Chain A
Amino acid sequence: DTQMTQSPSSLSASVGDRVTITCQASQDIYIYVSWFQQKPGKAPKLLIYDASNLERGVPARFSGSGSGTDFRFTISSLQPEDFATYYCQQYDNLPFTFGPGTQVDFK
């Protein structure tokens, strides 16, 4: 299985801050990475696919980059509704696997 690691596991930030989360895969997964946002009691929501493509309807303050084994997810200016947990996920090979998550909360 491809292991996905994320850092940090949690972070505290303020509205307007730039937030960056990194994800590392245990093997080359090309660009086959998605990023999800999950709020308590809700299903994950797809934000980014193919490492850098914004899902339809997702605000442009969210972005992703990377290829191979190293990926980055950025929120350019944190908004109140962005406080949530974020997950990376690889879909280059089966089984599809998720990172452990990064919780973003209020500083």
Chain B
Amino acid sequence: QVQLQESGPGLVKPSQTLSLTCTVSGRSISSGDYYLSWIRQNPEKGLEWIGYIYYTGRADYNPSLQSRTAISVDTSKNQFSLKLTSVTAADTAVYYCAGNWNRHGGNFDYWGQGAPVTVSS
């Protein structure tokens, strides 16, 4: 079955870059029309969609984060990644990767278990 797993530092200093990777197992990313998203959750803002990359190679982002966000995919490693620059305490959250194949881009079928990230000096 398809599984997603986030990895990356759990602690990031203010003004630095948050980098997370999601490894997909059980299916090749490029085995269909994929939509691979990053979503975060914290008590202040709840669940917040950060952005996605899809099968054309294009990425779309939440306008509230667009200037600081980059999502990329490495199909040879079956991974996709998130970079969020200039982080502040407001970026402290659990970060989830999520995705689907051959469905609407906003259908989040598969989720990782979540990676807690704290922004603190």
Give me the interface of A with B, judged by CB distance under 8 Å: 1, 32, 34, 36, 42-46, 49, 55, 87, 89-92, 94-98, 100-101
Residue B10 CB within 8 A of the other chain: no
Known: A43-B96, A91-B105. A98 touches B111 (CB 8 A): no
Q: In residues 71-121 of chain B, which contact A (Cβ within 8 Å)?
A: 96, 98, 104-109, 111-114
Most buried by A among B49, B96, B108, B109: B108
Using a Cβ cutoff of 8 Å, how many contacts connect chains A and B? 54
A97 and B112 CA atoms in complex are apart in Å by: 19
Closest to B46 in A: A100
Minimal beta-carbon separation of B69 from chain A (angstroms): 11
Structural contact, A46 and B64, CB atoms closer than 8 A: no
Closest to A34 in B: B107
Structural contact, B106 and A89, CB atoms closer than 8 A: yes
Give me the interface of B with A, judged by CB distance under 8 Å: 46-49, 60-64, 96, 98, 104-109, 111-114
Structural contact, A43 and B62, CB atoms closer than 8 A: no
Contacts of B60 in A (CB 8 A): 94
Most buried by B among A89, A95, A100, A101: A95
Closest to A49 in B: B107
A90 and B62 CA atoms in complex are apart in Å by: 14
Structural contact, B107 and A43, CB atoms closer than 8 A: no
Contacts of B112 in A (CB 8 A): 43
A44 and B110 CA atoms in complex are apart in Å by: 9
Structural contact, A46 and B109, CB atoms closer than 8 A: yes
